[in-house]
Chain A
Amino acid sequence: MAYFEARNVNLHFSSFHALRDVSLSLEKSDVLVICGPSGSGKSTFIRAINRLAGPLSGGAMSFDGADLARMPARDLHRRIGMVFQRFNLFQHLTVLDNIALPQRRVLGRSKAEARARAMALLERVGLAEKASVYPVQLSGGQQQRVAICRALAMDPAMLLFDEPTSALDPEMVGEVLQVMRELAASGMTMIVVTHEMGFARELASEIAFLESGQVVEKAPPGEFFAHPREERTRLFLSQILHHQAG
């Protein structure tokens, strides 16, 4: 059994069939990139993994040998972290407290311990001097790096990224991708919803292309970019690569 595995996952939003028999898997330290047009269900899929999308209407997901549906919410959220498109930093807390609060309340770490861990992570992403400011005083790229620190501070076994660079100004995309690159290099298991095809080509173990809630194609990056099997994938790639080149 793979480290993370989704088998025939189905999900409905009332009458809308958002995910249709989605089967995807990845091994420990792998990076799975999911791409697809908007409304394809790619965000819904990773939100379904940590229960932000409501219950599945069919299929199952497993993580590290355990059925995700049966895992207590606390364990699930402790082991699988998430980074959002819009960062979602707590607006009323400083950068340091954003990273320290969950560690203290969920992991039971002491204040000193949580702060030390937060500072070490901020150091790593080059934001140590921003520890005492509020999120609104940071640029989007800085906020996203803090959000990544906040997720990492919980020592997750896997990280989910929901379009982590889509809300950023172009000049800030690079700094966030750099942090993710380092994470991947350090062996973090990651599922990344993104349209950054350069990132996918460089770091993905496998790329999945979703449309209308279905997996149209999945392949290692070399194959995915060089020889896409499906016409729909070719069309999507030509549109998005043309756009990113220009």
Chain B
Amino acid sequence: MLSDAYDLFWQYQDTYLAGVRNALTAAGLGLVLALMVGLLVGMVRFTSRGRLGKAMAVYVSLVRNTPLLVQVYFIYFGLPALGLTLSAFWTGVLALTFNSGAYISEMVRGGLNAIPKGQTEAALALGLNQRLLLAKVLLPQAAPTVLPAVTGQFVQLIKDTSLLYTIAVLEITKAADDVGNETYQFLPAYLVSCVLYIGICVVLNLLVDLYESRAGFSKHKRA
């Protein structure tokens, strides 16, 4: 079977590589956008006890308590109902952003909460406003603990792209399914996708580990 899979990969490498490209692009775009959403939502939830903070809490709770697949469908069918039509690919990127943004916001909030209150008090007592407090004092100190977790989220995003298969985005799983349909060799076709996921994710996880072991600067500066 392994050799079947090997042959299938070379035979249909254009399909598979297009799938890998799309998956990585969707995950990459999703990560960048989710990082922005996550930073914003995390900071709002950290600072605001008001209505905006509550609204963000509802968003995070919605994402965390529903399956990603349901979120993908909601966005896929919901956006056109709101009069907004995007390509399947961008709908997928949006769903990944919506989903990962919530998780990243929790990492950001956790990172900010972990900084001793004295740092905030000192900054306020010196006359720094909320924006400067976050930008110059809290976020730089939270970054070394938040960044590895965010990189880990990228691995999660790559695996999550498999759900974009359901809205007909040619990513790794859809590529495998297409190959299977064409050759009726489903198991070897999926085996190829499996190896592709493992290859990409293992490399990424190794990079995260490397980053974390080299992030000595964060420990060095922490009391």
Contacts and interface: CB of A to CB of B under 8 A. Distances in A.
B125 A52 contact: yes
A91 B121 contact: no
Contacts of B122: 82, 84, 88-90, 147
B141 interface: yes
B134 to A, nearest CB: 12
A63 B129 CA distance: 21
Contacts of B116: 86, 88
Interface residues of B, number: 21
Interface string B188-223: 000000000000000000000000000000001111
A91 B127 contact: no
B136 interface: yes
A98 to B, nearest CB: 9
Contacts of B123: 90, 102
Given A86-B118, A92-B141, A150 B126 contact: yes
Nearest to B117: A88
Given A91-B223, A92-B140, A135-B223, A50 B119 contact: no
A131 to B, nearest CB: 16
Interface residues of A, number: 28
A152 B15 CA distance: 66
B128 interface: yes
Contact of B125 (A81, A101, A105): A81
Interface in B142-162: none
B164 to A, nearest CB: 39
A88 B124 contact: no
A74 interface: yes
Contacts of A88: 116, 118-119, 121-122
A91 B126 contact: no
A78 interface: yes
A139 B136 CA distance: 24
Contacts of A241: none
B68 interface: no
14 contacts: A52-B121, A73-B129, A74-B129, A77-B124, A77-B125, A88-B116, A88-B122, A92-B141, A102-B126, A105-B136, A136-B220, A147-B122, A150-B126, A154-B126
